[in-house]
């Protein structure tokens, strides 16, 4: 079973396919005596594309964590992600029929590049199809350069890089509707990959709440519930 999350919100119908393109930044140059050579560089930003169905009626194959929501709810989410001009978490989670993780989740910080809304009464009825393109996001920072002059010589002192997305950290976080551990790690710690630290620190709380809701386990933090107060790692 595959589940797609955008900014912590589960898409009701899993797209039938997804394309992940790893961009190339290698450069070729021609040397006078050596001919053409290839200069290897770090890969560029990855691009993700898929098509999602947004139902306007309840289907047995659709999945909603907090009850049925029509297509407009997800269209509003897309509009907000685009107009807010910010990055968000994109997660693909693979589980078996019992809810156990099959492999490591694919998590990536992305921005919403384009989305195309298609309404076709013959093919989709009252439902809506959306083609979505995402682009990997990488954090960046600034450096302060101070010029000093001594004995007629000018030198530059470069301070440590400051993360442009840095924010004041909190000790705890209260789970809200649509939250995921990856999304919490991204917004509160600045690194979605630290979601396992949050789970390890709050495993007893998370598992107890999952059992209270009728589940055998939380699937290592996949299932979390509004109102739970989680401690945040330092």
Q: Looking at the chain, which residues constitute the CATH 2.40.30.200 domain(s)?
A: 1-138
Dihedral of CA atoms 165, 167, 170, 174 in degrees, nearest 10, equals -60
For the domain covering 165-234, report its CATH number: 3.10.350.10
Helix (H/G/I), strand (E/B), else coil: 228? coil
The tens digit of pLDDT for each residue in 102-137 reads 666 667 889 999 999 999 888 888 999 999 999 998
Parts of the chain belonging to CATH 3.10.350.10: 165-234
129-188 tens-digit pLDDT: 999 999 998 776 665 666 666 666 656 565 555 555 445 567 899 998 878 888 888 788
DSSP-assigned letters across all residues of 31-60: ETTTEEEEE-------EEEEEEEE-SS--T
Fold for the domain defined by 1-138 = Elongation Factor Tu (Ef-tu); domain 3 (2.40.30)
Taking 80 as the threshold, does the pLDDT of residue 69 lie above it? yes
Read off the pTM: 0.58
| Residue 201: Cβ within 10 Å count | 15
């Amino acid at each position: 079973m595959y589940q797609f999350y955008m900014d912590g919100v589960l898409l009701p119908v899993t797209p039938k396919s997804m394309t992940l393109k790893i961009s190339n930044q290698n450069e070729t140059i021609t040397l006078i005596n050596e001919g053409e050579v290839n200069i290897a560089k770090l890969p560029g930003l990855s691009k993700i594309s898929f098509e999602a169905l947004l139902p306007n009626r309840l289907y047995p194959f659709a999945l909603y964590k907090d009850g049925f929501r029509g297509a407009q709810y997800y269209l509003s989410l897309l509009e907000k992600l685009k107009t807010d001009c910010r990055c968000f978490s994109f997660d693909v989670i693979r589980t078996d029929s019992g809810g156990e993780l099959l492999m490591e989740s694919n998590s990536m910080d992305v921005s919403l590049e384009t989305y195309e809304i298609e309404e076709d009464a013959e093919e989709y009825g009252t439902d809506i199809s959306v083609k979505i393109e995402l682009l990997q996001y990488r954090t960046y920072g600034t450096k302060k350069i101070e010029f000093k002059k001594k004995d007629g010589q000018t030198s530059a002192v470069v301070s440590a890089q400051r993360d442009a997305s840095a924010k004041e950290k909190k000790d705890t976080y209260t789970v809200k509707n649509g939250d995921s551990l990856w999304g919490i790690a991204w917004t509160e710690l600045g690194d979605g990959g630290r979601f396992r630290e949050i789970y390890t620190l709050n495993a007893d709380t998370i598992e107890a709440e999952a059992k209270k809701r009728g589940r055998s386990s939380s699937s290592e933090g996949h299932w979390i519930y509004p109102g739970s107060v989680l401690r945040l790692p330092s």
